[in-house]
Chain A
Amino acid sequence: SAVISQKPSRDICQRGTSLTIQCQVDSQVTMMFWYRQQPGQSLTLIATANQGSEATYESGFVIDKFPISRPNLTFSTLTVSNMSPEDSSIYLCSVEEDGGLWNEQFFGPGTRLTVL
């Protein structure tokens, strides 16, 4: 199974600033996803970030607020822009390994963001 790391693991940020979260995978994967887990809540998909195409955002999430880069098959970044306290969440990246239609997704450890 793919091993995924995220940086930073946690951060405390001021309102109005931006934070870029990095996701590194130990193998080449086409499909990568970014999720948000608000305090005490379930996971909500922010966007799908496949290498070689523009990220596809879910309803309620926009590129200006959550720009994503996917420069290669092992790396992606998610930026949380112009942060407000409502952005305080755990942000997780996940990947689906190539080579099958029904593979499970593997998740990174998450980035715990607190916005003051």
Chain B
Amino acid sequence: AQSVAQPEDQVNVAEGNPLTVKCTYSVSGNPYLFWYVQYPNRGLQFLLKYITGDNLVKGSYGFEAEFNKSQTSFHLKKPSALVSDSALYFCAVRDYTGRRALTFGSGTRLQVQP
């Protein structure tokens, strides 16, 4: 069975500083990885995905994520955080079997202080 772990319930960072939100995964076979963001009282918004190829994936709003197969990680990063980035971030995985649904991590709340 596939699984995703987000070890930090909350990440605090000052505006302008770089941010990292951690994610590790477990799947049989090759993974297909996503990051989503959820703002208060809104649905999930897609940020970026990794299928294959370059280990550094660029996405929306200046976010990027680094795929590391040996560490089974897919950490979300941004060089300079904005207060408006404060939200709940979910990492998700899908494997290469026929099952198309996503398995989500527990979520990490990002708080960017002015």
Contact = CB atoms under 8 A, between A and B. Distances in A.
A102 B104 contact: no
Which 9 interchain pairs have the tightest Cβ spacing? A107-B44, A107-B43, A109-B43, A43-B104, A42-B104, A45-B101, A42-B106, A102-B51, A104-B46
Interface residues of B, number: 20
B49 to A, nearest CB: 5
Contact of A42 (B34, B41, B105): B105
Given A31-B100, A102-B49, 9 more contacts: A4-B43, A33-B100, A42-B106, A45-B103, A48-B100, A94-B44, A102-B51, A104-B49, A107-B45
A105 B43 contact: no
B111 to A, nearest CB: 16
B43 A92 contact: yes
A41 interface: yes
Interface string A41-54: 11111001000000
Nearest to A112: B41
B49 A48 contact: no
B58 to A, nearest CB: 14
Contacts of B34: 104-105
Interface in A50-89: 58
Interface of B: 32, 34, 36, 41-46, 49, 51, 90, 100-107
Interface of A: 1, 4, 31, 33, 41-45, 48, 58, 92, 94, 96, 102, 104-110, 112
A23 to B, nearest CB: 11
Contact of A41 (B102, B103, B106): B106
A42 B46 contact: no
B43 A108 contact: yes
Nearest to B106: A42
A87 to B, nearest CB: 19
A92 B44 contact: yes
Contacts of B41: 112
